[in-house]
């Protein structure tokens, strides 16, 4: 009879589980909570700015006007690309605009016009580079949309026993009677053939050139400096001479041309100003009842009051 061997079980060691400390368990729980929070947290949203209800009703609509140059010649970003046929929208001035446009120092430098136009006529990007006639016209438009139709002016007629009286004129007449530039005469008016055969192509006088001219006569400078500034101003009115538009060359040419040609050029420049607003109007004298002409002064200090 065979003897059965006893099976001896092989002891199996159970895995040792290391018990985590309460502090470590709490750290793991906190880490899991943070992961969940990171996945559900929305990005920070900036607070909605508070809208001042007082500002909603003070922006006046303004009006659209066509500048007398019709936007011709403007090729260097003076006007916004959306402007067609020289039509720009003019918004009324604010209290700050009135203060700026009547500040003497800013007027003398042209900065007042630049600041006010950029705020009130946003489609004008380079106010100082506009033609002086366009600036005069837009000042009338600003006056109309900001203060209304009526403008009061003091005037004394040259009749017997005349005294200073107040007269009311309407802004609309200056806008309606503004002479638009004639595109068909540009080739004739702005191209000047001189006696020596040279052809000078002119531009209308820009506002920045007008400022320089006024500064020449206002400042106490030497005759040599006056001549230099006048040549600089004239070169800004001349687009080209015989197709050459290099400014230093034109300035050298201006300094050397005979006086006869300089006068011919001066007369031609005067002919290019036959457009834009006319600030002369007729009213009846309150003393003698006769018709008389008065001219509205385009001094912003008195014009915008």
Mean of the per-residue pLDDT values of the chain: 82
Say yes or no to pLDDT of 17 above 50.
Answer: no
What is the per-residue pLDDT across 276-300, written as a single tens digit (0 to 9) for each? Answer: 999 899 999 988 889 999 988 877 7
| pLDDT value at residue 177 | 92
More confident residue, 39 or 129: 129
d(Cα 92, Cα 94) in Å, to the nearest integer?
A: 7
| pLDDT value at residue 73 | 87
d(Cα 103, Cα 220) in Å, to the nearest integer?
A: 21
Q: CB neighbours (10 Å) of residue 9?
A: 5
What is the per-residue pLDDT across 162-217, written as a single tens digit (0 to 9) for each? Answer: 788 899 999 999 999 999 998 888 777 888 899 889 999 998 888 988 887 777 66
What is the per-residue pLDDT across 106-116, written as a single tens digit (0 to 9) for each? Answer: 888 889 999 99
What is the per-residue pLDDT across 219-255, written as a single tens digit (0 to 9) for each? Answer: 666 777 777 877 887 888 899 999 999 999 999 999 8
Q: Report pTM.
A: 0.74
CB 116 within 8 A of CB 97: yes
CB 121 within 8 A of CB 83: no
């Amino acid at each position: 009879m065979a003897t059965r061997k006893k099976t001896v079980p092989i002891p199996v060691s159970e895995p040792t589980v290391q018990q985590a400390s309460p502090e470590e368990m709490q750290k793991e729980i906190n880490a899991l909570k943070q992961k969940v929070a990171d996945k559900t947290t929305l990005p920070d949203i900036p607070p909605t700015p508070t809208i001042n209800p007082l500002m909603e009703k003070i922006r006046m609509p303004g009006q659209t006007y066509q500048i007398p140059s019709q936007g011709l010649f403007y090729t260097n970003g003076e006007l916004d690309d959306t402007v067609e046929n020289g039509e720009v929208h003019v918004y009324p001035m604010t209290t700050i605009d009135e203060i700026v446009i009547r500040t003497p120092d800013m007027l003398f430098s042209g900065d007042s016009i630049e600041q006010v136009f950029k705020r009130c006529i946003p489609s004008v990007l380079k106010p100082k580079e506009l033609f002086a006639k366009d600036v005069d016209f837009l000042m009338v438009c600003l006056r109309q949309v900001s203060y209304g139709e009526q403008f009061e002016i003091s005037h004394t007629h040259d009749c017997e026993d005349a005294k200073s009286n107040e007269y009311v004129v309407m802004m609309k007449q200056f806008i309606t009677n503004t002479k638009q530039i004639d595109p068909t005469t540009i080739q004739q008016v702005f191209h000047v053939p001189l006696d020596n055969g040279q052809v000078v192509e002119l531009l209308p006088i820009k506002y920045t050139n007008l400022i320089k001219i006024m500064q020449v006569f206002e400042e106490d400078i030497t005759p040599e400096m006056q001549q230099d500034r006048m040549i600089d101003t004239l070169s800004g009115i001349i687009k080209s001479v015989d197709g050459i538009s290099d400014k230093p060359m034109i300035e050298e040419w201006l300094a050397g041309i005979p006086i006869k040609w300089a006068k011919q050029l001066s007369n031609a420049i005067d002919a290019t100003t036959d457009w834009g607003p006319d600030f002369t109007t007729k009213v009846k004298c309150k003393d003698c009842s006769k018709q008389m002409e008065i001219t509205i002064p385009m001094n912003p200090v008195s014009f915008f009051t």
